[in-house]
Amino acid sequence: MRLLTALLSGLLFGVGLMVSGMANPAKVLGFLDIAGRWDPSLALVMGGALAASSIALGFAKGRKKSLLGSHMHIPALTPVTFRLVAGSAVFGIGWGLAGLCPGPALVALGAGLPKASGFVAAMLAGMMAFEFIERAKQRRQQA
């Protein structure tokens, strides 16, 4: 049941990204071009996503288990650090240059958008580099 729910959730998410235009780099870049021909339509998509997730988070906060019986993992509030700000800046720069972020990039890759393959390859390389660096830090701290 969990696998079916995960599959249906992923499909719904992907379809939503395609219908909203979030998997279309040109539409995303139009939204980010506030000094030129700005396209505000994605602001409505983001606002709708924030509203829906706020309602879901409010419902989930009072629960110890999900509706399917899994343990709930609700992140704790953490302070804003340099690392968080720097990572957010790198994410935003990448989003602005490519017009893609991780979720929409995977949807665009599945839809056969050529630009997505390079983005996903770079994203995976960045994730692997991060893991390598973090593990090296942990090994140094344990030594």
Q: Cα separation of 88 and 77, whole Å?
A: 16
Q: Does residue 69 have a pLDDT over 90?
A: no
How far does CA 98 lie from the centroid of its chain? Answer: 14
Total-model pTM: 0.73
* Residue count of the chain: 143
The chain-wide mean pLDDT, for the chain, equals 89
Q: Does residue 62 have a pLDDT over 90?
A: no
The amino acid sitting at 2 is: R
**Which tokens in the block code for residue 1?**
């049941």
Q: Does residue 64 have a pLDDT over 90?
A: no
Q: Which percentage of the chain shows pLDDT scores above 90? A: 32
Q: Cα separation of 16 and 42, whole Å?
A: 12
User: Helix, strand or coil for residue 92?
Assistant: helix
